[in-house]
């Protein structure tokens, strides 16, 4: 009897193994015409292994270098790296949708502009608020004054808390947090004052600053059911789970503090409108959504999720970008670029308060070339952007079955050597024409530049981020020179479950960057 049971168990194991192998074979056959190593083709865990070591997009680039602009990186995943594929996958009206990957960015269990899979849902929501982020709107007096106040607060922090401000990974997060919170919620309900020293507001971003957030994101993507279960345990089970170190990130989890703050701001705003204390108007994103909520049938959670997502999206991206600009300019090898920038800025006409015209900053050649080169090398969201189509398609002449995950990454596009020679070298002059002017939009470099995505899903906050960056950099370098305290060490940023830094340096410090600011006396 025991022998019979053992034989039955063995047969079950063999049957299970054969079933797994058969499914793997069928999956492999589905995209066997796509070039790439078999280790990536037969299991999704090969790329997951790279991601655990924060190297997945780096490995994808190596595969592109070996196999060309089309490479298979998973049983059901293909990476592209060409302009034609960029237009096909991400261009307006392409038919490709966001995948379930983006559901991890739903807020309060409710989808928003960033996470909508449907292009129609995305388009309808975007119509409601896109004008808030238009360049024209951001050049209006109210928006310009708000950004100037936040820049002035940063300059004040440099004087009143010089050591804290010098660790610019953190202090620039304070800046971007204060700016986007007021833009989304207004100054009364939800606007923060981290730069001014408000300890409660500063603590709100502690979970963002924690590098362990990478492990949480990795777990949520690759083991979503397990991650949801283990992170929602409470009581005795929760205590045991936490004490055994089984959580991918210790509580509070990423964004938990800010999401609570955002929800509270929503309820305060709603209460103020209901009582007549505050009218619904478009002086803030939340005010605009309340203004149109009845006409477009927006629920409380639609508005709360949308606003919280805008708040979250506007913190890391702007802060990380600014940090890399200042760090790059502060390296001894790049002193010439800092000198060029300062000369350009000091020749600007300014108003009685010492501020240059906001519109004028967008025309400055060295300022914009430096920012663009930093965004090319150190894009704050450089990783793979997955899409899929509900029907069979063709990309770059290759047949792609329905529901295949396809995508591209700014990291790979921005290191295309035929477009960007010496791709790992910081060279702002690559964005300048022979006569010293900025390259036209038709130039190859601009076509391959993808820091803000493209098409209908292009970053809605692009103009706001640019205005914040240009104004802060201009203000800083009109008053200070800067130097890196540790010029042999690159800062590293967390982007989903990756780490990105300057790959030409051996030393890296994640979520830390020390810059010395010297008052300019010239």
Say which residues have a Cβ less than 8 Å from residue 250's Cβ, sequence separation at least 6.
212, 242
**Residue 164 clears pLDDT 50, i.e. is over it:** yes
Q: Is residue 75 a contact partner of residue 32, using CB atoms and an 8 Å limit?
A: no
Say which residues have a Cβ less than 8 Å from residue 238's Cβ, sequence separation at least 6.
none
Three-state SS annotation for 232-300: CCCHHHHHHHHHCCCCCCCCCCCCHHHHHHHHHHHHHHHHHHHCCCCCCCCCCHHHHHHHHCCCCCCCH
Give one DSSP letter per residue of 15-66, joined into a string.
Answer: HHHHHHHHHHHHHHHHTTTS-S-HHHHH-THHHHHHHHTT-HHHHHHHHHHH
Q: Distance (Å, rounded) from C-alpha 89 to C-alpha 383? A: 16
Mean predicted confidence (pLDDT) in 35-57: 95
Name which residue leads in pLDDT, 257 or 19.
257
Three-state SS annotation for 378-413: CCCCCCCEEEECCCCEEECCEEECCCCEEEECHHHH
SS3 112: coil
Q: b or e along 479-518 (b: 16 or more beta carbons within 10 Å of the residue's beta carbon)?
A: bbbbbbeeeebbbbbbbbbbbbbbeeeeeeebbbbbbebe
Confidence of residue 408 (pLDDT cuts 50, 70, 90): very high
How do residues 375-405 score in pLDDT, each as one tens digit? Answer: 999 999 999 999 999 999 999 999 999 999 9
Map tokens 């203000």 to a residue: 475
Residue 22: what pLDDT?
46
- Strands 393-395 and 97-98 come out as unpaired
Mean per-residue pLDDT of the chain:
92
Q: Distance (Å, rounded) from C-alpha 178 to C-alpha 59? A: 36
**Residue 4 clears pLDDT 50, i.e. is over it:** yes
**Residue 58 clears pLDDT 60, i.e. is over it:** yes
Mean predicted confidence (pLDDT) in 285-307: 96
Q: Distance (Å, rounded) from C-alpha 326 to C-alpha 316? A: 15
How do residues 362-382 score in pLDDT, each as one tens digit? Answer: 999 999 999 999 999 999 999
Residue 25: what pLDDT?
47
Mean predicted confidence (pLDDT) in 99-125: 92
Half-sphere exposure of residue 26: CA atoms within 13 angstroms, side-chain side = 5
Residue 211: what pLDDT?
87
What is the C-alpha end-to-end distance of the chain, expressed in Å?
Answer: 94
Residue 131: what pLDDT?
93
Angle (CA) 391 395 397, round 5°: 115
Residue 268: what pLDDT?
95
Residue 7: what pLDDT?
59
Q: Distance (Å, rounded) from C-alpha 317 to C-alpha 72? A: 29
Q: Distance (Å, rounded) from C-alpha 63 to C-alpha 73? A: 8
Confidence of residue 521 (pLDDT cuts 50, 70, 90): low
Say which residues have a Cβ less than 8 Å from residue 2's Cβ, sequence separation at least 6.
none
How do residues 108-117 score in pLDDT, each as one tens digit? Answer: 999 999 999 9
User: Residue 323 is encoded by which pair of tokens?
Assistant: 């940090």
Residue 413: what pLDDT?
98
Confidence of residue 92 (pLDDT cuts 50, 70, 90): confident
**Residue 11 clears pLDDT 70, i.e. is over it:** no
Residue 395: what pLDDT?
97
Map tokens 């979970």 to a residue: 207
Mean predicted confidence (pLDDT) in 319-326: 98
Q: Distance (Å, rounded) from C-alpha 121 to C-alpha 320? A: 30
How do residues 303-315 score in pLDDT, each as one tens digit? Answer: 999 999 999 999 9
Give one DSSP letter per residue of 90-106, joined into a string.
Answer: HSTT---EE-GGGGGG-
Residue 121: what pLDDT?
93
Q: Distance (Å, rounded) from C-alpha 457 to C-alpha 119? A: 9
CA 326 to chain centre: 18
How do residues 143-159 score in pLDDT, each as one tens digit? Answer: 999 999 999 999 999 99
In this prediction the pTM is 0.92
**Residue 19 clears pLDDT 70, i.e. is over it:** no
Give the CA dihedral 211, 104, 378, 341, nearest 10 degrees.
Answer: -100
Q: Is residue 289 a contact partner of residue 309, using CB atoms and an 8 Å limit?
A: no
User: Based on the number of CB atoms within 10 Å of its own CB, is 382 exposed (0-12), middle (13-18) or buried (19 or more)?
Assistant: buried
């Amino acid at each position: 009897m025991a022998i019979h049971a053992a034989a039955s168990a063995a047969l079950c194991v063999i049957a299970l193994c054969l079933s797994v192998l058969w499914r793997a074979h069928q999956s492999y056959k589905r995209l066997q015409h796509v070039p790439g190593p078999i280790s990536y083709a037969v299991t999704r865990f090969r790329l997951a292994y790279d991601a655990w070591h924060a190297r997945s997009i780096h490995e994808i680039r190596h595969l592109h270098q070996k196999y060309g602009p089309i490479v298979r990186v998973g049983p059901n995943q293909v990476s592209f790296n060409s302009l034609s594929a960029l237009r096909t996958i991400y261009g307006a009206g392409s038919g490709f949708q966001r995948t379930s990957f983006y559901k991890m960015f739903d807020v309060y269990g409710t989808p928003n502009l960033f996470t909508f899979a449907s292009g129609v849902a995305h388009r309808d929501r975007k119509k409601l608020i896109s004008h808030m982020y238009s360049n024209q709107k951001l050049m209006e007096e109210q928006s310009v004054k708000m950004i100037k106040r936040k820049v002035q607060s940063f300059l004040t922090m440099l004087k009143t808390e010089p050591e804290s401000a010098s660790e610019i990974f953190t202090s620039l997060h304070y800046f971007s947090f204060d700016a986007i919170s007021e833009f989304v919620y207004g100054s009364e309900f939800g606007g923060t004052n981290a730069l001014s020293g408000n300890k409660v507001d500063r603590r709100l971003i502690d979970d963002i600053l924690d590098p362990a957030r990478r492990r949480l994101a990795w777990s949520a993507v690759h083991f979503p059911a397990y991650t949801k279960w283990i992170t929602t345990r409470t009581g005795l089970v929760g205590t045991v789970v936490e004490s055994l170190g089984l959580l991918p990130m210790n509580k509070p989890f990423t964004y938990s503090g800010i999401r609570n703050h955002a929800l509270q701001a929503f309820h305060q705003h709603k209460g103020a409108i209901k009582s007549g204390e505050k009218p619904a108007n478009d002086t803030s994103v939340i005010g605009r959504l309340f203004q149109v909520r009845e006409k477009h049938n927006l629920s409380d959670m639609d508005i709360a999720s949308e606003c919280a997502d805008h708040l979250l999206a506007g913190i890391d991206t702007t802060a990380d970008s600014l940090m890399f600009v200042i760090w790059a300019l502060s390296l001894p090898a790049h002193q010439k670029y800092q000198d060029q920038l300062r000369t350009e800025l000091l020749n600007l006409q300014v108003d009685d308060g010492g501020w240059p015209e906001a519109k004028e900053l967008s025309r400055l050649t060295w300022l914009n070339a430096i920012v663009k080169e930093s965004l090319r090398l150190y894009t704050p969201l450089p990783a793979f952007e997955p899409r899929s189509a509900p029907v069979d398609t063709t990309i770059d002449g290759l047949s792609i079955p329905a529901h295949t995950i396809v995508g591209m990454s700014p990291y790979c596009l921005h290191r295309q050597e035929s477009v960007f020679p010496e791709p790992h070298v910081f060279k702002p002059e690559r964005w300048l024409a022979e006569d010293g002017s900025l390259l036209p939009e038709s130039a190859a470099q601009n076509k391959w530049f993808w820091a803000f995505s493209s098409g209908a899903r292009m970053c809605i906050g692009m103009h706001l981020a640019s205005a914040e960056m240009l104004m802060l950099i201009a203000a800083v370098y009109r008053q200070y020179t800067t130097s890196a305290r540790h010029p042999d060490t690159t800062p590293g940023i967390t982007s989903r479950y990756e780490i990105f830094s300057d790959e030409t340096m051996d030393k890296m410090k994640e979520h830390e960057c020390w810059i010395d600011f010297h008052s300019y006396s010239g």
